[in-house]
Structures are given as C-alpha cells and as structure tokens.
C-alpha cells in the first residue's frame, strides 16, 4: 500500500500539470485569435500613414527641386543682365577705366607773333582737339578724356571764348588727352605721315605724345538724360518667330 502512494501522488501531479497546460494553451490560442485582427488593423493603419507621409515628402521634394531650378535660372538671368548692364556702362563711359595707352599734350605756340599774323594761328582750337580725338578713335581707343573730362557720345567740344567747353565745363591749355588702347596702334595712328598731328607741329603748336603702361580715365560725371528720344518698340515678325 505504501509503495502505491508515491505513484498515485505522481499521477495526480501529472494530471494537474496536464490540465494546467491544456488551460494555458487554450487561453493562448484564444488570446492570439482575438489579438491578431486588431494587430493587423493597427499595422495597416500605420502602413497607410507612412505611405501618405512618403507621398507628401515626394511632392515636397519635387516642389523644392522645381524652386531650386527656378532660382538657378533666375540667378543666371540676373548674372547675364548684370553683365550686359556692365558692358553698357563701359560703352557709355559711366565706369572709370585704367589700362595701357597714350597721353597727348597740346598747348599754344610760344613763338612771337609776327606783324600782321592772326593771333588765333598760335592757339589750340576745338577743331584741333576734335581731329586728334577722331584719329585716336580710328586707331582703336577704348576710352578718351580731355583734362580728366570723359568723352562720350554726347560730349561736346566747342569754343567758349578763350576756353574750350567740354561736358559743359570750361578747360584751358595745356590740353591733356588720355586714351586707353593699344599704345603702339594709338601712337602710329596719331603720328601717321600727313596726319593732323603733324599739321599742328608744322603750325608751331606745342605737341607731345607718350606711351604709358597704365593710364586711368575717370567716368563721365554728369547725368545722362533723354528729353525727346524714346526707345523704339519693334513688333516681332513671323519670320523672327
């Protein structure tokens, strides 16, 4: 009898453990069965949210790329406009320049006036300055000044009594004409045989020309104003399109 008691106890323990394991398995199976649908729904919602966020980020990325492209195009257009404006200002004489060139000096004659001789023959006149300027332009001068008055398309060089009027400012001798360009070309253009510079020397006026490695010419100082001229608006033709 005593030998059977341990066996019965073991049997009872095994039975209890079996029942507990069965109950645990049943509970787990029931929990998983009830939890799985809600878990799947939660994961689906999260996936949908992530998908929406991805699509939104993709749209924002495309928008930012387009804006960046527009900014680059605008910057390039602005850079082109700035370059064109700079070139226009250079051509208009609105920018001070420096570079190689020549310095020409014209002054009245120092010889004594002969009886019956016209005193004007011993003076530098506006036409003398204009002729020298034209020869400099024909020789490739990129910028010209007279006594530091910048010569532009609208500059006037004319007589004003005993003085010369340039850009509405009166200047007198000696007249220092500076020109930026190829020094050799400018010098040879002015000193060409039979040229006007040679005529001035023949008349006894004081003349000199000197090549320089660097000359500085100031910008046009007055305001450029158009009171009557208006830009012409051209209509684009079919051929131009």
Length of the chain: 241
C-alpha span between 140 and 184 (Å, rounded): 11
Residue 228: alpha-carbon gap to chain centroid: 31
Rg (CA), the chain: 48
pLDDT in tens, the chain (241 residues): 545 555 555 666 566 566 666 655 555 555 555 555 666 677 777 777 778 877 787 787 788 888 887 777 777 777 777 887 777 787 788 899 999 999 999 999 888 877 877 778 889 999 999 999 999 999 999 999 999 999 998 899 998 888 899 998 999 999 999 999 999 999 999 999 988 999 999 888 999 999 999 999 999 988 877 788 888 887 765 555 5
pTM across the whole model: 0.66
Sheet containing strand 157-160, edge to edge, reads: 157-160, 163-166, 169-171
For domain 97-217, the question of CATH label 1.10.3720.10 is answered with no
- Rounded to 10 deg, the angle between the 126-138 and 183-190 helix axes is 130
């Amino acid at each position: 009898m005593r030998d059977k008691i341990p066996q019965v106890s073991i049997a009872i323990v095994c039975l209890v453990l079996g029942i507990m394991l069965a109950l645990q398995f049943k509970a787990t199976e029931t929990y998983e069965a009830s939890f799985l649908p809600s878990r799947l729904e939660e994961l689906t919602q999260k996936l949908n949210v992530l998908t929406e966020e991805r699509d939104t980020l993709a749209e924002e990325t495309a928008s930012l790329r387009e804006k960046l492209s527009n900014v680059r195009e605008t910057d390039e257009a602005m850079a082109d406009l700035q370059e064109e404006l700079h070139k226009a200002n250079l051509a208009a004489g609105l920018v001070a320049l420096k570079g190689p060139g020549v310095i020409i000096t014209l002054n009245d004659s120092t010889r004594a006036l002969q009886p019956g001789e016209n005193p004007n023959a011993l003076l530098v006149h506006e036409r003398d300055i204009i002729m020298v300027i034209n020869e400099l332009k024909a020789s490739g001068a990129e910028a010209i000044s007279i006594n530091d008055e910048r010569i532009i398309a609208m500059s006037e060089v004319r007589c004003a009594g005993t003085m010369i009027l340039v850009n509405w400012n009166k200047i007198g001798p000696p007249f220092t004409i500076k020109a930026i360009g190829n020094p050799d070309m400018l010098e040879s253009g002015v000193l060409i045989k039979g040229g006007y510079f040679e005529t001035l020397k023949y008349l006894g006026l004081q003349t000199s020309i000197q090549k320089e490695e660097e000359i500085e010419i100031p910008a046009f100082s007055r305001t450029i104003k158009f009171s009557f001229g208006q830009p012409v608006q051209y209509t684009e033709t079919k051929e131009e399109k």
